[in-house]
Amino acid sequence: MIFSLGLLYVLVGLLLAFVAVLTALDRAHPRRFTSALFWGLYAAVYLFGDFMAPALAGAIMIAMALLAGCGLVRAGGHGTLDEGTRSASAARLGNRLFLPALVIPIVTVLGATLLKDVHIGELALFDKAHLTLASLGLGALLAVAAACWLTRASPLQGVREAHRLVDAMSWAVTLPHMLAVLGLLFSEAGVGRAVAHVSTAWFDIDSRLAAVCLYCIGMALFTIIMGNGFAAFPVIAGGIGVPLLVRQYGADPAVMAAIGMFSAYCGTLMTPMAANFNIVPAALLELPDKNAVIKAQIPTALPLLAANIVLLYFLMNLS
């Protein structure tokens, strides 16, 4: 294959390595060496993760958590264009500024549908085992190329802007990765079995509606606690979804999984633990209330969770 998930990991690792180098070279940075170490360790996970012993990868993640938790990962200063130059550039480009962003979903959809069987010579264009992610990675690369062509900037400027954005989000960038790993650890440790035991012992699951409510609400609540739907899914799906909905009530596993993840995302909208989604945007927008994003999203999250319960109840046995 030409564009695989492994290649995407290498590209992300190289970008993070550039961020680490640029941070280390920033003499005005308040914590340049510890911040550079943080991004360098994260880059190493992407670049060499397949060759690392599991214990070493775990030690790296613990070291990263300690660096962030001790306040040793900070944002540096970034030079930006003056207001007049930015306004003139925006006026010249107009709505064309949105074109690079549209390239990503368009290429992702085309790659996952029309181009999934395309071969160049004997090599497949995409890794079929991770088709959507590979297509997304190619879409991101083409979007960078489109942005450089549109703004007449160099790819190096794209790396600088990536550095600025990653620096602004700081350690919260790693939260989805960290929490997804934590969810897998919980699953391996048997938390799913414990959840199943508590669910059957404390709740009446003799009705299909009760089981569906327990699954969807449990997915949202565990996401609120963990801060990430990927962390909640293996625990709640393994503890409630599979044994109750699939085995006891004959639910379609695909429907159970899809609506379960959507229920988990409802929890993401309501938790400060999802810092990269809910706290970082408030900080970037300099909102006086750091929970303003969450408060704005709750009126959407709760009705959506109720809709997921209704959908799962009626759709789980249709196939």
State mean pLDDT over 229-238: 84
User: Minimum mean pLDDT among 7-21, 68-82, 186-200, 276-290: which range?
Assistant: 186-200
What's the sign of the alpha-carbon dihedral 124, 128, 132, 136? negative
Q: Highest-confidence range of 83-87, 131-135, 308-312, by mean pLDDT?
A: 308-312
Share above pLDDT 70 across residues of the chain, in percent, rounded to a whole number: 92
State mean pLDDT over 58-70: 90
Q: Which carries the bigger pLDDT value, residue 146 or residue 3?
A: 146
State mean pLDDT over 219-229: 86
Which H helix or E strand runs over 146?
Answer: helix 131-151
Q: What CA–CA distance (Å, rounded) separates 45 from 59?
A: 11
Backbone angles phi, psi at 123, to 5 degrees: -100, 135
Model confidence at 80, pLDDT cuts 50, 70, 90, reads low
Instruction: Kindly report the pTM of this predicted structure.
Output: 0.72
CB atoms within 10 A of CB 43: 20
pLDDT at 319 over 70: no
pLDDT at 1 over 70: no
| CA 82 from centre of chain | 32
Model confidence at 159, pLDDT cuts 50, 70, 90, reads confident
Q: Residue 303's pLDDT is what?
A: 96
Q: Residue 253's pLDDT is what?
A: 92
pLDDT at 40 over 90: yes
Model confidence at 206, pLDDT cuts 50, 70, 90, reads confident
Model confidence at 165, pLDDT cuts 50, 70, 90, reads confident
pLDDT tens-digit readout, 249-270: 889 999 999 999 999 999 999 9
State mean pLDDT over 36-57: 91
Distances (CA, A) of 5 to 9, 127, 130, 151, 277: 6, 7, 6, 29, 24
State mean pLDDT over 67-89: 75
